[in-house]
Amino acid sequence: MTLLSDAAVLAELEQTPGWTRVSKTLDRTYRFQSFRDAMFFVNGVAALAESAGHHPDIAVHYNVVALSLWTHSAGGLTAKDFALARTIDAVLA
């Protein structure tokens, strides 16, 4: 995967509402009604991650889930990160 230029990242961000670029990563935080709802979401993310062969960092703080995506092999953000971010929101949000 090719590392995206800053301009390409901005263009991708416009198509990926709710996600923020934080240094080298693409991040989003989700808040749920309960821990159970949060875990249901986390398991959906895990399934999509396995399917994509691309795995976000996942942090669960009771009913809040934070996802962080980046492409390790490229050392930053690639199209793969934005594709998975959009798939997560399309399927689970």
Q: How many residues bind its own copies (CB under 8 A)?
A: 15
Binding mask 4-43 for its own copies (x = CB under 8 A): -------------------------------xx--x--xx
79 near its own copies (CB under 8 A) = no
The contact mask relative to its own copies for 40-59 (x = CB under 8 A, - = no) is: --xx--x--xx----x-xxx
Long-range contacts of 14-19 (CB under 8 A, 24+ apart): 15/82, 15/86, 16/82, 16/85, 16/86, 16/89, 17/89, 18/89, 18/93, 19/82, 19/85
